[in-house]
Structure 1
Amino acid sequence: MSETAREIKEALLTLDREKLIQTTKTSLDKGENPQELLSAITAALREVGDKFESGEFFLVELVSAGEAAKTVISEYLKPVLKKIGSEGKHLGVIAIGTVAGDIHDIGKSIVASMLFTAGFEILDLGVDVTVEKFIETVKNGNVDVVAMSALLSTTLPMQRETIEALKKKDLRDKVKVIVGGSPVTEEWAKEIGADGFADNASEAVRLVKKILDISER
């Protein structure tokens, strides 16, 4: 683990928002790879999530760490990543959103950022995305992959409903569909007819490249 990754991890685990921002700004000024910084934030957030699951962290700490990470990603990393992403040809178009009834944004945003830095064009539909919105986006855009996030077990059925709606509209064969989120499993993905499942941002990038038959470089 690099020194920067250690500092990012420490900042998030101690909920030190200012240290996280300063570490990111300093690293970018030194010319460090923004994608590596994003990966470090993703790894640190996974550890925060583990601490929440074990009861070591409470909801307020989980949300605080997530909001700090979101601020750094949107205000400091994305502008740099956008410049990098605009230099080359897009590998494909990804429509990504958190399903209806679910307003969790952090995990989805990290996945979107990682896919963007990997060379994909991102249509970020936001949170609480209805089945109709997913369908409309596929109809109106040159979408290659629909990525659906669900952080609540009660909203999992919306992933199934969206896939069924794509079938009814004769759109399912036109796009690949991947799913993710805390309650999502590989078994669930297979059950609802998704093309794949990823439980973190790095895996999502590998999965999308695999299902679109894009070779790793």
Structure 2
Amino acid sequence: MEMKRPHGVYLVVDPKRDWPELLRQLTRALEGGLGLVQVWNHWAEGISRKQKLDFLGEVAARCGEYGVPVLMHEDWALAREAGLQGVHFDEIPADPAAIRMALEGSMIGVTVGNDLEKIERAGELGVDYISFCAVFPSSSVGSCEIVRPENIRAARGVTDVPIFLSGGIRPGNLSRLAGLDFDGVAVISGILDAADPAAAVAAYRGALLELKN
């Protein structure tokens, strides 16, 4: 799969949800125009590695039909074994150079917050994007600090990689992010809990387009 600059709507999939329903929601979301998918490293107790690989294979097959890259959260060895397109880290790994070498050709992303030094250090890993967590309060990102807009602006001064924003973002509050230079939004419940995931993705895409115009 050709790796393009990541942008748009980034869906984070929680594999602790019911798999048949989750895969149905994912398919509908893909129909709405997703840009990127990440599988959260959040599994039900007792799930074997083979079951994880089978599930990731299902996700990758569906996303592949739409040319959408799939990233694994944290477990880079599992991402490599499953043949996914990359990995997303919540923290910069202790040995970023070795991981970058092991994941040659893969996309790597890192979650950041108000610490600009962390953004600068992410460059040591040669990240392909950064994701700010969280711009608004959200139950799904309860461990994240609220990010100050001035730090999102400052990030563009130290990196030119794509910037995603996450945490409590809805199509209706995206206008509050006007004036910030970012490439997309990362979403969980705003899509997975929607009655129509395709329509939800389209709504996010429309709101993003309005900000760019």
TM-score normalised by L of structure 2? 0.39
The structure with higher relative contact order (CA 8 Å, sep 6+) is 2
The structure with the largest alpha-carbon Rg is 1
Q: Which has the higher helix share?
A: 1
Q: Which has the higher strand share?
A: 2
